[in-house]
Amino acid sequence: REKETQDVLSSEMKRVTDELELEYTSKLQNELAKMKSAYAKDLEKHGSVMEMLQGNLELLSSRLEVSQTYECGSKRAHRVSAAALALASKLEDGEGAAVEIAALKGAAGGEGVIASAVGMIPPTAEEGVPTVAELQVAFDQSYNVGRQAAMVPEGRAGLEGQLMGMVFAKLSVPPSPEAVPTSEEEGNVTDGVLSLARKYVQVGDLEKAVEQLNKLKGQAAYVMNDWKSKAADRVSTERALKVIKLECALLNKELV
């Protein structure tokens, strides 16, 4: 009888123990599941924060790069513009610009539109290229000498011929630029070329004046060559300055 009672108690103890173990195991699993879920949420939250921080860092790096690029471009644009302004001032006044040309070359570098434009500037610009106004004044004297050369009779290149040319030039009336002779039958073609060139010089169109003077031959071409060379240098200088100013304007516009 006592043994049966003991067996019943043992069985009951085992049942209670199993139930308690099952209950605590279930509770433990639930708690672990909750902890895992909370940890996963925290991890996801931290991951989002890290992604946000990474994105902000990349954005800041990008902005810093843009800022540095802008600053570098701005400094270069200002340096080039300042050098170009100094050069333009010298060239437009007909002054020697050796230092300013070298400065712009250094600021612009060896390549690019501005570097090419600087290469268009004639070597005489280092000492000074006459201005349009100065060339207009100088043309009158060259024109008179050119007409005298045009009037020298063919085959009379000596002193006598020169004197005859001076007399004929003084006594004759220059042809109108609107009706210049196109052949010797119509009149002195060289005199007509000089009249057209004079017309273009008076209105400041040196390029067309040079085009006309390129048609001259013989003694007239020789006596007009010095003025023509200076005028051609001024034309090249003005072209180069136009390109340089335009490119500087574009450089500064890109920074706005």
| Contact in structure between 152 and 219 (CB atoms under 8 Å) | yes
Outline where DSSP puts E strands in 109-213: none
**Six-digit token pair at 214?**
């390129």
Locate 89 and state its tokens: 């001032």
pLDDT of res. 131: 96
- In this prediction, residue 186 carries a pLDDT of 44
Residue ranges covered by each domain of the chain: 130-238
Cα diameter, the chain: 172
Q: Which long-range contacts (CB under 8 A, 24 or more apart) does 72-75 make?
A: 73/251, 73/254, 73/255, 74/255
Mean pLDDT by 10 residues, the chain (256 residues): 72 78 80 80 72 70 54 68 91 93 87 88 94 95 86 65 63 71 64 92 96 91 94 96 90 64
pLDDT of residue 137: 95
The answer to whether residues 244 and 130 touch, using CB atoms and an 8 Å cutoff, is no
pTM: 0.65
- Token pair belonging to 130: 């006459």
Residue 185 has a pLDDT of: 53
CB-based contact 61:228 (threshold 8 Å): no
Angstrom CA distances, 25 to 11, 17, 28, 33, 78, stand at 21, 12, 5, 12, 78
Q: Which residue, 218, 219, 175, is CA-closest to 197?
A: 175
Strand, helix or coil at 73?
helix
